[in-house]
Amino acid sequence: MELQGAVRPDQPLLVVALDLEAAQLGDRLPVLLTGVGKVRAAIAVTRLLATARPSMVVNIGTAGGLRHGLDGVHEIGTVLQHDFASEAIEKITGIRFGPPIELGAGLTLATGDQFVQGGPVRDALAERADLVDMEAYAVAAACREADVPVRIVKLVSDDADEHALRSWVDTVSDHARTLATWVDEHL
């Protein structure tokens, strides 16, 4: 976890997994770098929100597209965990853990601790979601628990297929500029 800048109650906090994605954000708003994955994101956001109260949290970053031709920057309307067996656990315990989090209008994002690169995993996810990432659900859950407003904004970086890793590596610097432009225009 690395915090760049001071968190103030009159400003949003940007939450980003990697410095590569945050490289062009500048210093106008504070940025929390969480690291990759749900656990790191949950810990970083929870630790920060225990001592600071931004006006809102905006999780920005890249995501794999699960719909052919999907590109650009998108605000997320629903985020779900794709690697958590919530239905099975509910059948066992009678308690629903980890339901989808509704944020408003927008696409559906599936979060899980797996870099999706095609195959049956991608096919199954495409039946439930538009995009896939590795941190957003954890960020949204931590914010909801702390009663801090949250927005999730993702840029389609690849098609979550067998070329995803190479595509992400080759384009991340361009995507960092696009994300910074979105922040400048919308926050």
Q: What is the DSSP string of 122-187?
A: HHHHHTT-SEEESSHHHHHHHHHHHT--EEEEEEEEE-SSTTHHHHHHHHHHHHHHHHHHHHHHH-
User: What is the end-to-end Cα distance of the chain in Å, rounded?
Assistant: 23
Q: Give the single-character DSSP code of 101.
A: E
Query: What pLDDT score was predicted for residue 83?
Result: 77
Structure tokens at 33: 């770098």
pLDDT at 123 over 90: no
Q: Are strands 12-16 and 31-33 parallel, antiparallel or unpaired?
A: parallel
pLDDT at 32 over 90: yes
From residue 84, give the alpha-carbon distance in Å to each of 22, 98, 99. Answer: 28, 8, 10
The predicted model scores a pTM of 0.91
Look at residues 26, 28, 65, 33 and name the one whose alpha carbon lies nearest to residue 177: 26
Alpha-carbon distance of 164 to 70, in angstroms, equals 14
pLDDT at 166 over 90: no
Over residues 125-133, the mean pLDDT reads 93
What pLDDT digit, counting tens, does each position of 43-101 carry?
A: 999 999 999 999 999 999 999 999 988 999 999 999 999 877 777 777 888 887 889 99
Side-chain-side CA neighbours of residue 111 (13 Å): 29
Query: What pLDDT score was predicted for residue 135?
Result: 97
From residue 98, give the alpha-carbon distance in Å to each of 43, 111, 129, 143, 160. Answer: 16, 11, 16, 14, 23
Query: What pLDDT score was predicted for residue 22?
Result: 96
User: What is the CATH architecture assignment of 2-180?
Assistant: 3-Layer(aba) Sandwich (3.40)
